[in-house]
């Protein structure tokens, strides 16, 4: 019946529900901007032109674009539940996201995925998911869950799951490991793409990765890397998040020939960046300022991801497409004024319509299972030189340095004169008592400690600081909160943010979360931190699929060699 009504409205034989008049319509198919009217019936676009309608609204010459689509995002990185995420990004013109729930899946397994799927129902915006392909990211750490092909493949039949999520285990792919290939082949059997995650992969290894069936990548950090992958047939997602910002370095790859295979994504964007700068609108502003044709930039935020993920009713203003629309006065500032979801105003003047947003249940099961008697961070000296993780602001790729150790009373200790502080990863899923200990350079901490239960991807508790006593207080504070972020000064908590949902997300409004994260960052700066977002940087120091040196609950991990290595160098 609804299809028949839409067809009748498209023919003009039945009134549309809504006619939006006097618009400058951005056509992502032709690249044109044309003046006209948009007829909407049952939440879908019936046609462009003069139509009879029950209601008429003039936008007085403003631009109307399709709703923006984030091609790859981890909602958990906003540190709020799904409903708060929707409330935050809708006013910025984001009407659809393709989310990878592998953060919560690493903690709670399929129960975590199910909770995200349930929370996505009945929201005004479209929330699709990719199925986490690497839970755990590697076998080199203690996992909160293990999702094998037998578990994952049945889930691919769900309509809201549109792809196999980022295949971080690129060594497993290029080595032809059967368990990895079974997941990729399962996605192919369901006619769903496989997202990639292959930082720095090149040459024959890249060819092998693509030959397995991986279709996209969002980890490019240079134009040369992105162009090699484009030439090899990959779709490129240009990432502009909080911990990793690659847009400026990759703008040069966008031209008339390549733009059709490039999309935008945020990947991981913290609450303060969403509130202060925006979401997809922020990326479009930066792209336009960097010289990208605004219509091309919009196509990369709409039609391209819709096509890649097979979302045939999204990504354009055309008959049969869902009426997800963004109204704005210019295509330079990209200041979003009104957002329509399925033909209804879902956000206006920076505020989402709360009545349209479905609030999900609160915190789930306890996710802090720590053997607290094992919290000992002393490192007996077994040599005079150590491996050190070197950190750079705004980057999740780390260095692998070999440096002289500072030894006191037979133990290796922090050396704040050289900006080297102790780093610890405390296992929190199985109460094994595992603690990986290393050292990091570049955090800037002169005293105290910072810690959190957001530590990609297994999300153990990660802590950094020059003094063992402060490290222990910080870790214990995270446990007591049921997960969260904390700053400790003189063995006292000076700032904290509880994250009771899997130790990853808050049940507070995003604005409150942003205020608390700002307080945490100020408190960390008070300890000497030189990073713009120390907790985002800290959270990636445990990810053993991003080069070069990382720390897991089982010790230091050399990503290039893909094996654990000793702290001390012989």
- pLDDT computed for residue 362 by the predictor: 73
Q: Where are the domains of the chain?
A: 2-61, 65-356, 372-564
The number of beta carbons lying within 10 Å of the beta carbon of residue 159 is 6
φ, ψ of residue 127 in degrees (nearest 5) = -120, 110
- pLDDT computed for residue 139 by the predictor: 83
- pLDDT computed for residue 1 by the predictor: 63
Q: What's the token pair of residue 301?
A: 């935020």
2-61 and 65-356 have identical folds = no
Asked if 62 and 24 count as a contact pair (C-beta separation under 8 A), the reply is yes
Q: What's the token pair of residue 7?
A: 């067809």
φ, ψ of residue 390 in degrees (nearest 5) = -100, 135
- Say how far apart CA 237 and CA 447 lie, in whole Å: 39
What kind and span of H or E run contains 84? helix 82-89
Return the bridge partners of 268, or none. Answer: none
The number of beta carbons lying within 10 Å of the beta carbon of residue 189 is 10
Superfamily assignment of 2-61 in CATH?
Urease, subunit C, domain 1 (2.30.40.10)
pTM of the model: 0.92
Per-residue pLDDT of the chain (570 residues; tens, 9 = 90+): 689 999 999 999 999 999 999 999 999 999 999 999 999 999 999 999 999 999 999 999 999 999 999 999 999 999 999 999 999 999 999 999 999 999 999 999 999 999 999 999 999 999 999 999 999 987 889 999 999 999 999 999 999 999 999 998 898 999 999 999 999 999 999 999 999 999 899 999 999 999 999 999 999 999 999 999 999 999 999 999 987 889 999 999 999 999 999 999 999 898 989 999 999 999 999 999 999 999 999 999 999 999 999 999 999 999 999 999 999 999 999 999 999 999 999 999 999 999 999 988 777 788 999 999 889 999 999 999 999 999 998 788 899 999 999 999 999 999 999 999 999 999 999 999 999 999 999 999 999 999 999 999 899 999 999 999 999 999 999 999 999 999 999 999 999 999 999 999 998 999 999 999 999 999 999 999 999 889 989 999 999 888 899 999 999 999 999 899 999 997
Asked if 369 and 428 count as a contact pair (C-beta separation under 8 A), the reply is yes
Closest CA to 266 of 298, 233, 301, 232: 301
HSE of 111 in the Cβ direction (CA atoms, 13 Å)? 11
- Say how far apart CA 542 and CA 552 lie, in whole Å: 5
Bridge-based pairing of strands 235-239 and 262-265 is: parallel
Q: What is the DSSP string of 95-149?
A: EEEEE-THHHHHHHTHHHHHHHHHHHTT-SSEEEEEEPS-SSS-SSS--S----H
HSE of 232 in the Cβ direction (CA atoms, 13 Å)? 25
- Say how far apart CA 508 and CA 502 lie, in whole Å: 14
Closest CA to 397 of 218, 268, 565, 219: 219
What kind and span of H or E run contains 23? strand 18-26
- pLDDT computed for residue 110 by the predictor: 95
HSE of 186 in the Cβ direction (CA atoms, 13 Å)? 23
Q: What's the token pair of residue 536?
A: 């985002």
- Say how far apart CA 301 and CA 111 lie, in whole Å: 31
What kind and span of H or E run contains 549? strand 549-552
* Topology of the domain comprising 65-356: TIM Barrel (3.20.20)
Q: How many residues appear in the chain?
A: 570
- Say how far apart CA 398 and CA 195 lie, in whole Å: 23
- Say how far apart CA 531 and CA 525 lie, in whole Å: 8
Bridge-based pairing of strands 336-341 and 325-328 is: antiparallel
């Amino acid at each position: 019946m609804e299809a028949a009504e839409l067809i009748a409205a498209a023919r003009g034989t039945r009134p549309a529900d809504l006619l939006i008049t006097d618009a400058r319509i951005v056509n992502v198919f032709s690249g044109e901007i044309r003046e006209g009217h948009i007829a909407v019936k049952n939440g879908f676009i019936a046609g462009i032109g003069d139509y009879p309608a029950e209601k008429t609204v003039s936008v007085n010459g403003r631009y109307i674009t399709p709703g923006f689509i984030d091609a790859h995002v981890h909602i958990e990185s906003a540190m709020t539940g799904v409903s708060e995420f929707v409330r935050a990004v809708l006013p910025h013109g984001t009407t659809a996201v393709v989310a990878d729930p592998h953060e919560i899946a690493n903690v709670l397994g399929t129960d975590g995925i199910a909770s995200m799927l349930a929370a996505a129902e009945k929201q005004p915006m479209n929330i699709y998911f990719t199925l986490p392909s690497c839970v755990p990211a590697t076998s080199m750490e203690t996992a909160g869950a293990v999702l094998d092909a037998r578990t994952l493949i049945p889930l691919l039949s769900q309509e809201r799951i549109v792809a196999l999520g980022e295949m971080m285990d690129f060594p497993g792919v290029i080595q032809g490991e059967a368990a990895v290939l079974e997941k990729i082949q399962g996605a192919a059997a369901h006619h769903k793409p496989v997202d990639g995650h292959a930082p720095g992969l090149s040459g024959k290894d890249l060819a092998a990765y693509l030959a397995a069936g991986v279709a996209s990548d969002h980890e490019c950090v240079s134009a040369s890397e992105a162009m090699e992958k484009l030439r090899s047939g990959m779709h490129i997602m240009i990432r502009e998040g909080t911990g990793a910002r690659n847009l400026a370095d990759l703008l040069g790859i966008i031209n008339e020939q390549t733009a059709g295979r490039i999309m935008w994504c945020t990947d991981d964007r913290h609450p303060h960046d969403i509130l202060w700068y925006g979401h997809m609108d922020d990326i479009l502003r930066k792209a336009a300022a960097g010289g990208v044709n605004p219509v091309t930039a919009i196509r990369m935020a709409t039609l391209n991801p819709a096509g890649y993920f097979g979302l045939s009713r999204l990504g354009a203003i055309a008959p049969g497409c869902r009426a997800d629309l963004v109204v704005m006065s210019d295509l330079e500032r990209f200041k979003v004024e009104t957002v329509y979801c399925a033909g209804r105003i879902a956000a206006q003047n920076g505020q989402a319509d709360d009545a349209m947003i479905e609030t999900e249940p609160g915190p789930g099961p306890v996710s802090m299972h720590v053997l607290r008697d094992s919290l000992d961070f002393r490192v007996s000296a077994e040599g005079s030189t150590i491996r050190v993780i070197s950190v750079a602001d705004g980057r999740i790729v780390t260095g692998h340095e070999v440096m002289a150790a500072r030894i006191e009373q037979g133990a290796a200790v922090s050396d704040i004169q050289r900006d080297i502080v102790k780093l610890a990863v405390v296992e929190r899923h199985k109460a094994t008592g595992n603690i990986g200990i290393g050292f990091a350079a570049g955090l800037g901490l002169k005293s105290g400690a910072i810690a959190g239960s957001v530590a990609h991807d297994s999300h153990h508790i990660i802590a950094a600081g020059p003094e063992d006593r402060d490290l222990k207080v910080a870790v214990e504070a995270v446990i007591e909160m049921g997960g969260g972020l904390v700053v400790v000064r003189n063995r006292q908590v000076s700032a904290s943010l509880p994250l009771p949902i899997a130790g990853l997300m808050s049940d507070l409004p995003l604005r409150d979360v942003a205020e608390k994260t700002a307080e945490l960052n100020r408190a960390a700066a008070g300890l000497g931190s030189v990073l713009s977002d120390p907790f985002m940087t800290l959270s990636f120091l445990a990810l053993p699929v991003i080069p070069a040196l990382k720390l897991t609950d089982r010790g230091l991990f050399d990503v290039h060699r893909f094996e654990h290595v000793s702290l001390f160098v012989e």
